[in-house]
A and B are shown apart, each in its own frame.
Chain A
Amino acid sequence: MSAPTLSPAVSSAPGTPRAPLTKKVLVADHPTWCPGCGDFAVLASFYKVLEKLNYPQEKIVTFAGIGCSSRFPYFVNTHGGHYIHGRSLPFAAGISLGRDDLHVFVFGGDGDGFSIGGNHLVHTARKNPRMTYVIMDNSVYGLTKKQTSPTSPIGFKSKTDPWGAFDQPINPMRTLINSGATFIARSHATQVNHMVEMMHRAALHDGFSVVEILSECVEFFEGAFDASIPRKGGSFQTIDLKKNDGSAEDAARHDPTDELAALRLALDPWPGKFGIYYENKSRPTKNALEQKLITNTREKTKNASDLELLSKTFARMR
């Protein structure tokens, strides 16, 4: 009898006490990224997040699609892997739904997330499986060496648009809010503390959480995000979240449960704000809904064994 093997998402190591998870344990292969790539900082922040979460190492899964950033799982010493281009979300949904005891993290770039995998992003958000998706957005195809990406700004000169791109770029925050993702945040590879906070909160969110991180490609789109880097003359503006303290200044703060307010933030002119755009804690996860379906269905069958169930079905075919 295969009773459901699902258990609560946040697992604490039972039995023997374990040594806390450290960066030393979590480091795997040396990253193959170009010197100066923003992805190094994302990786370093992710180690910190895992240290904070301190999940049992074998329960963490790190998966990715295809692209520079999608090399990520090779550099993190957890179970994980490298799937095909753009389809890592439905793959990871299978991991999460089939094994609710795991902590599933997916990494990818803007091509993976918003171009070839765009439809999967929308539908994964709609289904709300329990997992965290980190999009490392560099606004260019780096692995294939400088083609226009779905987030390349108008005027960007690439090998596929040598005269400057003229297709309207995707607005990631707007796309994510419209897709119905239940946790949406935006961060920046030059802001380690902010990245750690965003990814940590995303990991703790019960549902499909997405963090977009602007991560510069120094090789093919240098200076892409200068407008949001203070030391390069830009400004890094974070979102002040409502404290609900009744104060006058609180009225101006952002309510992350307010979808319309989130959309208004998403429409801010470039480079926009960083922080939590939207968070919906009330929508049940697909994990929970499927589990409920299983529980209700099995109650109706009076928890019959697999053999009893199947024998009954065949008896009806006599």
Chain B
Amino acid sequence: MVSPIPPSSASATARSNAPLFTIPDVVIRLAGNSQDGIQAVGGFLARLAGRSAQEVMTYMTIPSTISGGPSIFQVRIGSGEILSAGDRADVLVAFYQHSYESHRSSLRPGGVLLYDSDHVTPNPDDKEITAVGIPMTSATVEAVGGSSKEKGKNIYVLGLLARMFDLDVPKLSQLIKERFGGKNEDIVRNALLAFDAGYAYPAENLAHILFRLETPTPTVGGRPQITTDGNTALTYGLIAAGVRHGAGYPITPWSSIMETLRTELPKYGGIFVQCEDEIAAASTALGFSYGGNLAITGSSGPGLSLKMEALGWATMAELPLIVINVQRGGPSTGMPTNIEQSDLLQAIYGSHGDCPRVVLAPKNVEDCFYIALEACRIAREFSTPVIILTDQALATRIEAFDEPDLPKLMIEQKPDLSPRDASFKPYPLDQAQRHAPPGSVIGSGKYPTVTGLEHDEHGHPSASPAMHTKMTIKRREKIKSVATTFPAPELFGDQSGDVLLIGWGCTYGPIREALGRLRGAGATVGHIQIRHIHPLDGGLEEIFARYRHILVVEINDEGLYGYGQLATLLRSRYCNPAISSITKTDGLTYKVSEIVERVAVKLGLADTTVGMRKLSLLASALPTQK
């Protein structure tokens, strides 16, 4: 059943008699099991979009089971600004019956179901969608030849999608070659065979579902696009910021950062240590920092809890440290492969004692790179621990963005071992600590102790009530002054009016899209994504005063008093009764429609039609099935 016609000519034949609709963007959801290589297909599509200067956003779930289990990857590609992975899919690829049954509801009315007819029997009475059965498994086995395994059906599906959306075949083939190029030639050949077979699937069966994505207007002189996930962007952000030392302990979804650092840092002359536990990891990283090399440790929720005593020490001893927390569903082991933003208060207040420290949150994958640079600048300048609160959604999703200008951004780090003069004090009351790493000659001849005990300006233990008061104020004012280095917060949409939407972390995209829809429906709405959680950006109070409602959108619980974690912080900081919460804890990122509907309900709008997802052009292009 494999067509002998090579893809290029097959395409020409198909195109000649097929209806062809041009659409601005498409949401494709691939549903199968974790070992099916679904992420690889999603990754190919995302990278293709990146190379075509198209916007792309992805979303995936990975089972927390050791091997196997249902898994999905959703990719949205378009020529406009793509801010979220899409509420509902235009195309659902279902590998198994359970994939079909679990994800049929994610397909919008009028959408296309591509199912593996070797494994799936869809409901014949379901006329709301266009269902196309293709024997993906047997066709792949036949194409690759002789293989008893169905490995490669993901690439077969990639071929099908390439045909369906008239994707750039040479670029995709190139991506396949790059991806499998390091392995033996058979693997590359088999992958290309599977791809061609999918691409050559008899056109008449697909005739009514062939599309073309709008070509984006090329940007002149723009930087090349890169495509990557949040954990990778964050990792290389740290390397660009001059971090060469770190320590960690495995925990999902943080582990990929430590794996990359372990293999990458030696190339840069650095060391990453896998420690016996989270506490040892924080301690080893602090030991590196004490030696004069700003170091990084990281974890996910429960691991951050274990590091808290060490972080308290770092605040008292005033040593710099970068701590990454890739948030997941909690408490305890909770939902380790799901998103939740429930570690905000832990990050700010989790240690014992009065323990002020800096907490930052990146808003998208690109920002994961830049926030790493910012965190390292703050840690060095203020000799303080900085926590980066990222999350499972940012960690695993792939986005395309402009390649960073590395020659401008890269920072070199060397321990400052210059001799300190006789007036050197490790803990001056009127400024941030200037740590003298071992190896520095101390002019006074009195070598400093770095300590977790309350101490005087020379680092000597001091139980003086006056000294504890002064030092507590000093540590507090130091962290407060970090805010003076922040640029003004970026305000999107209306500069005053009905509603100001506040978010942090991975909710940036869906809130931005919701903003557009709400404004389209006639509401005056603004949006700020808070990247500086602690200390907060300056100027927020004045902005808040311009709106009737300030709605804080978060993926956490409203708690005992009815407010999410950031809302709690903002209410206590600004005492503004207009601040209220939109929260949820289903372990999933926000859909745009969820935010729009929740805002409409909050505002008491009788007409909630703004919450309805407008049918996309793809929907109107499809023949209605009756």
What residues make up the interface of A, taking CB atoms closer than 8 Å to B?
1-5, 25, 28-29, 57-61, 73-74, 77-84, 87-88, 90-99, 101-102, 119-120, 122-123, 127, 290, 293-294, 297-298, 301, 304, 306-307, 309-311, 313-314, 316-318
Contact = CB atoms under 8 A, between A and B. Distances in A.
Given A99-B292, A318-B403, A310 B313 contact: no
Interface string B259-298: 0000010111111010111011101111111111101000
Contacts of B295: 94, 98
A95 B439 CA distance: 11
B225 A318 contact: yes
B21 interface: no
Given A58-B442, A101-B439, A119 B291 contact: no
Given A82-B450, A94-B245, 7 more contacts: A2-B270, A28-B447, A58-B438, A77-B445, A79-B438, A99-B437, A317-B50
Contacts of A83: 283, 286, 313, 452
Q: Report whether over half of chain B's contact residues are helix, strand or loop; otherwise say mixed.
A: mixed
Given A3-B269, A306-B410, A314-B403, A95 B239 contact: no
Interface residues of B, number: 76
A310 B239 contact: yes
B244 interface: yes
Interface string B299-328: 000000000011011000100000000000
Contacts of B468: none
| Most chain B beta carbons < 10 A, residue from A1, A3, A83, A90 | A90
Interface in B394-436: 403-404, 406-407, 410, 412-415, 436
Contacts of B228: 317
Given A2-B242, A102-B438, A95 B280 contact: no
Nearest to A102: B438
Contact of B276 (A80, A119, A310, A314): A119
Interface string B139-158: 00000000000000000000
B360 interface: no
B288 to A, nearest CB: 4
Nearest to B281: A90
Nearest to B289: A94
A258 to B, nearest CB: 28
B433 to A, nearest CB: 12
A93 B273 contact: yes
Contacts of B47: 317
B410 A2 contact: no
Contacts of B271: 97-98, 290, 294
A79 B435 CA distance: 11
B453 interface: yes
Contacts of B8: none
Interface in B447-496: 447-453, 459-461
Given A59-B438, A90-B284, A82 B50 contact: no
Contacts of A82: 449-453
Given A2-B414, A93-B287, A318 B236 contact: no
- For the complex of A and B, 6 pairs with smallest distance between CB atoms: A94-B287, A81-B450, A79-B438, A90-B280, A123-B276, A317-B226
A81 B267 contact: no
Contacts of B277: 119
Contacts of B269: 2-5, 294, 298
Nearest to A93: B284
B288 A310 contact: no
A25 to B, nearest CB: 7
A313 B228 CA distance: 11
A96 B178 CA distance: 40
| Most chain B beta carbons < 10 A, residue from A73, A92, A297 | A297
Given A74-B461, A90-B280, A318-B225, A2 B413 contact: yes
Nearest to A296: B266
B226 A97 contact: no
A314 B236 contact: yes
Nearest to B276: A123
Contacts of B309: 84
B214 to A, nearest CB: 22
Interface of B: 47, 50-51, 178, 224-228, 232, 236, 239-240, 242, 244-245, 247, 264, 266-271, 273, 275-277, 279-281, 283-293, 295, 309-310, 312-313, 317, 403-404, 406-407, 410, 412-415, 436-442, 445-453, 459-461
Given A5-B415, A318-B51, A99 B236 contact: no
A81 B291 CA distance: 12
A59 B406 contact: no
Contact of A99 (B310, B312, B438, B447): B438
Contacts of B415: 5, 99
B242 A311 contact: no
Nearest to A99: B291
A249 B423 CA distance: 61
B266 A2 contact: no
28 contacts: A3-B269, A5-B269, A58-B440, A58-B441, A74-B449, A74-B460, A77-B447, A78-B438, A79-B436, A80-B438, A81-B449, A82-B450, A82-B453, A83-B283, A83-B286, A84-B283, A87-B280, A91-B286, A93-B284, A94-B245, A94-B295, A95-B290, A97-B288, A98-B245, A119-B276, A119-B280, A294-B270, A306-B410
A79 B448 contact: yes
A98 B293 contact: yes
A94 B285 contact: yes
| Most chain A beta carbons < 10 A, residue from B264, B413, B438 | B438
Contacts of A79: 436-440, 447-448
A307 B225 contact: no
Contacts of A91: 283-284, 286-287, 290
A313 B403 CA distance: 11
Contacts of B51: 318
B292 A84 contact: no
Contacts of A297: 266-267
A85 to B, nearest CB: 8
Contact of B291 (A2, A95, A310, A314): A95
A78 B447 contact: yes
A298 B267 contact: yes
A94 B414 contact: no
Contacts of A98: 245, 271, 287-288, 291-293, 295
Contacts of B447: 28, 57-58, 77-80
A46 to B, nearest CB: 15
Nearest to A286: B273
B280 A61 contact: no
Contacts of A74: 449, 460-461
Given A98-B288, A318-B50, A87 B437 contact: no
Contacts of B317: 81
B449 A80 contact: yes
B170 to A, nearest CB: 15
Nearest to A76: B447
Contacts of B461: 74
Nearest to A293: B266
A13 B546 CA distance: 66
A38 to B, nearest CB: 22
A99 B439 CA distance: 9
Nearest to A4: B269
A94 B288 contact: yes
A102 B403 contact: no
A74 B450 CA distance: 10
Contacts of B244: 2
A77 B445 CA distance: 8
Contacts of B407: 307
B451 A90 contact: no
A73 B449 contact: yes
A28 B448 CA distance: 10
A73 B453 CA distance: 13
Contacts of A96: 287
Contacts of A81: 290, 317, 449-451, 459
B193 to A, nearest CB: 25
Contacts of A73: 449
